[in-house]
Amino acid sequence: MRRSVVLVLILLAAGCGAQSPSAPPPSASETSSRPPSALRPPGPLRPTAQRRPAREPTPAAEARPVKVPYTASGRYSVVRGRAPARPGPGEVVRYLVEVEGGLPFDGDAFAAAVHRTLNDPRGWAPFQRVDHGPVRVRVALSSPAMTDRQCLPLRTGGDLSCWNGTRSIINARRWAAGVPQYEGDLAAYRDYVISHEVGHSLGHGHTGCPGPGRPAPVMAQQSKSLGGCRPNPWPYPSRPKDRRPGRDR
């Protein structure tokens, strides 16, 4: 009897130690919080898309369509500031810039454009911009109505620019849109109209096209017609171009 009890106790003890308690199931945070991709072997690496740098503005981007009123304030204001003449041979010409009030153009930007044109090596001479004192020429951005009045007795018809007295009068309509014969190159046309009207202030008269396909002289009336010539905005186009940024056209 005693042996039977001992045998039963031994068998019971052996059965209890043969199997350990089962481990608790994984918590939800160890499974469902993982994205499915984390459970798969990684695939082949793909190149990361590179963000392209923003394109620099081009001269064409600067010339957006502008609506110019036929009549503005009828009064000029001198654009304040000074700018030195480019170094080089020739007598320095003092000039100032005026803008009629009420036009959709920034006076400082217009003055800077005029100064770049006048001091390009292909231009007439070194020009120094001032805002007071004696000057040889005034470059005046004007509405079509103001241009018509300032250009009398010449008839500009609200379209053309002119020179009269000491003032080179730039029609804002032309400054905004150019002319068809320049085929959309507004920057070149602006160089032309400044060079042409200031050329009158230096004593240069009109001339014609020297022959079909040749560059038009800057004193040809290119705003009306090229006469068979090619557009040319410079008095001395064969001189080396200005290599400053934004001026190599």
* Contacts with 196 (C-beta within 8 Å, 6 or more apart), sequence order: 161, 218, 219, 222, 223
- In a domain? residue 137: yes
Q: What's the whole-number mean pLDDT along residues 236-240?
A: 92
Q: Residue 164's beta-bridge partner residues? A: 167
- In a domain? residue 47: no
The model's pTM: 0.72
The per-residue pLDDT for range 39-82, each reduced to its tens digit, is 344 444 343 333 333 333 334 434 467 899 999 999 999 999 99
CB 198 within 8 A of CB 168: yes
- In a domain? residue 79: yes
Domain count for the chain: 1
Confidence of residue 240 (pLDDT cuts 50, 70, 90): confident
- In a domain? residue 230: no
- In a domain? residue 54: no
Domain of residue 116 covers 61-201
pLDDT of residue 64: 65
- In a domain? residue 25: no
